[in-house]
Amino acid sequence: MRTVLRSTSFQWTLIAVALVALIITIMLPSSTSRAEAATPTQVHSTVMIARLGTVPAAKPTTAQTRKAQIKNLRMKLVKVAKAQVGDRYSAGSAGPNAFDCSGLTRYVYKTAMGKELPHQSHSQFRIVKKIRVKDAQPGDLVFFFRHGAHHVGLYIGGGKMVDAAGYGKGVRISPIHGSWWGRAFSGIGRIVPAA
């Protein structure tokens, strides 16, 4: 009888140890599941990102917003000017299908930003802020003929401009430097603030 009790007691001890081991195995996740388990904060963040679609970005400052607006406006001026390439030259014309030089720049500013410019290159030269060539940005005006301004184009970057070059040439993309341009260059003028 004692042998049976000892045997039964031993079996119960083994069963108890096995149960404890089973409970520990169930209660403690394996190292793999531990790495995959998310904390409540991670779960909350994941749910919030899923609801929003993206991680919220910091709001731009007023200065950053203004700079972006100016850059977009300058690109719009260039886009309108390039859209006129191939149109014919006509003295005294300001578009939409024929231009003289100041008529082109006047049309571009009016179309892109609602800004009225006078229809003479020397009058446009008087109202701009004069800047150095190295500071030129797309959308600035380029003037020619020293000691005056008898020709104007819209700077598009890379040392080039869109201008209504004359009869038989029409509106085209031209360099702002070169033999004739270098001799005749008057300066760069700015109407839109720098980006």
Which residues participate in catalysis according to the annotation? 101, 151, 163
Distance CA 76, CA 110 (A): 11
Distance CA 20, CA 24 (A): 6
Q: How many CA atoms lie within 13 A of 35 on its CB side?
A: 2
Alpha carbon dihedral 24, 27, 31, 32, in 10-degree steps, equals 130
- Give me the residues paired with residue 131 across strands: 188
Indicate the residue type of 101. Answer: C
With beta carbons less than 8 A apart as the criterion, state whether 171 and 162 touch.
yes
Strand arrangement of the beta sheet that strand 151-157 belongs to: 129-131, 185-190, 141-144, 151-157, 160-164, 171-175
